[in-house]
Amino acid sequence: MPKKNSKNVVEDIRVGTDSILPEKDLIKKLESGKKLKIKLGADPTAPDLHLGHLVVLSKLRQLQDMGHEVIFLIGDFTARIGDPTGRSKARPPLTKGQIEYNTTTYFEQVAKILDPSKVSVRYNSEWLDKLSCDDIVRLCAKLTLAKLTEREDFSSRIKQNISVGFHELLYPIFQAYDSVVLEADIELGGTDQMFNLLLGRHLQEQFGQEPQVIMTMPLLEGLDGVKKMSKSFDNAIGLNEPPNEVFGKIMSTSDEMMWRYFQLLLQKDLSDISHMQERIAAGNLNPMGVKKDLAHEIISRYWSEDEANSARDTFESVFQKKDYSKAQEVTLPADVPALVWIVDLLRTLGAVKTSSEAKRLLEGGAVSIDGAQIRDFGAEISWQPGMIIKVGKHRIYKLR
């Protein structure tokens, strides 16, 4: 098979991306023949990654398979500041203990997508902790306030007379400085990171380096089909969740959203997606069957084929055949009282993580016990073995 030229390689890289800036610089870097340094930064703001992270991680794996050096940067220093991207107010900074806890499962999850033997893992505390006041002043002198306030979220808050903390201005500066220290050739991120990535390119030029190419990836919408997938929005599917839960959550997405998942998580060609849509419109393809195929393929790729087969079998038995003998069985801890607050019960089941999530589900009529809908946030439940609890469209628990 003939070797692809750099323009053909760029075409392969472009698939699934939102933008590559500037593309001519990418071609130039590829034609140099050197192994490029590909940077992806992630602040450990939560202990678990979710399917939204797969969009950029899958692109990183593609570049890794092309023989380039992947640098997975843990922003353990910048997480103490808190990324203000998309925020209407300052994000509460994390403590060092929270950051350490959140990083413990990162590598296990990232290894589902990347080849861990070919990843350089770095922490930006390695260099940012060592900056003196003099270093920080010299670093800040390379940027202007006008440059920093070009950021949409900063400028919007200023126009609305909403305060912007000085520490928030430091966040994009430090993230950009990471690219200088690592001498990154390419940096990846979501479309919401465009300003930060461009600032890294700008700062590299200020330090006399060849500026990085920036590559932005589309943001995957969460289960609500509106906001980007995020733990903080209670609309995420975590990479550490049980396959049965994942299958059910994917099945709860809208028919419209499943095409986004096909495109961004499985890299399906748009022509293939259009063909499936045409067959559904003509009545030759069942949309539920297509969605089950989607869930099965995602779990096969990022968990295992055996777990995907089991999850599909369980879903069809419980939700289509109403065979609750295959519902997820849960043994409640001995300290759960005979009369328990509905929110505590849902937390114990693992169905929710926060009271706000429970309230949203209850008020939306998404919780039922033995077929009876529960809407009262303050309800107390007298539980017993064999009780069937349904949460949302596709999560069913059987107490034992």
Cβ partners under 8 Å of residue 44, min gap 6 = 74, 75, 76, 79, 94, 99, 102, 103, 106
88 pLDDT above the threshold of 50: no
> What pLDDT, on the 0 to 100 scale, is given for residue 3?
58
Q: Region 113-124: what's the mean pLDDT?
A: 92
Q: What is the pLDDT of residue 89?
A: 52
Q: Domain coordinates of the chain in residue numbers? A: 6-220, 241-325, 329-399
CA count, 13 A, side-chain hemisphere, 161: 0
Mean pLDDT over 111-140 rounds to 94
pLDDT value at residue 44: 81
In degrees, rounded to 5, the angle at the alpha carbon of residue 361 between the alpha carbons of residues 360 and 367 is 155
- Beta-carbon contacts of residue 85 (< 8 Å; ≥ 6 apart): 153, 192, 193, 195, 196
Identify the pLDDT of residue 293: 97
Identical topology for domains 241-325 and 329-399:
no
Mean of per-residue pLDDT scores for the chain: 90
Residue 230 CA to residue 251 CA, distance in Å, equals 18
**Does the structural domain 329-399 have CATH classification 3.10.290.10?**
yes
Q: What is the pLDDT of residue 111?
A: 86
Phi, psi of 303 (to 5 degrees): -120, -95
Which of these, 326, 366, 327, lies nearest to 346 by C-alpha position? 366
pLDDT tens-digit map of 217-248: 999 999 889 999 987 787 899 998 899 989 99
Q: What is the pLDDT, as a whole number, of residue 1?
A: 43
The confidence score (pLDDT) of residue 140 equals 94
Q: Which amino acid is at 218?
A: P
> In whole angstroms, what is the distance from residue 289 CA to residue 326 CA?
20
Q: What are phi and psi of 238, to 5 degrees?
A: -80, 145
Listed residue (297, 325, 239) closest to 52, CA to CA: 239
Tens of pLDDT, residue by residue over 330-363, are: 999 999 999 999 999 999 998 888 899 899 999 9
pLDDT of res. 380: 96
Q: Which residue in 198, 186, 199, 202 sits closest to 13, CA to CA?
A: 186
User: Residue 356 CA to chain centroid, in angstroms?
Assistant: 21
**pLDDT tens readout for residues 276-315:** 999 999 999 999 999 999 999 999 999 999 999 999 999 9
Q: Write down the architecture of domain 6-220 according to CATH.
A: 3-Layer(aba) Sandwich (3.40)
Query: How large is the average pLDDT for residues 159-168?
Result: 86
pLDDT of residue 92 exceeding 60, the answer is yes
pLDDT reported for residue 8: 85
Separation CA 284–CA 276 (nearest Å): 9
Statement: residue 5 has pLDDT above 80: no
pLDDT band at 384 (very low <50, low <70, confident <90, very high): very high
**Residue 172 pLDDT greater than 50, yes or no:** yes
Mean pLDDT of 142-154: 87
pLDDT at 90: 53
Domain 241-325 belongs in CATH node 1.10.240.10: yes
pLDDT over 70 (residue 84): no
How far the first Cα of the chain sits from its last, in Å, is 59
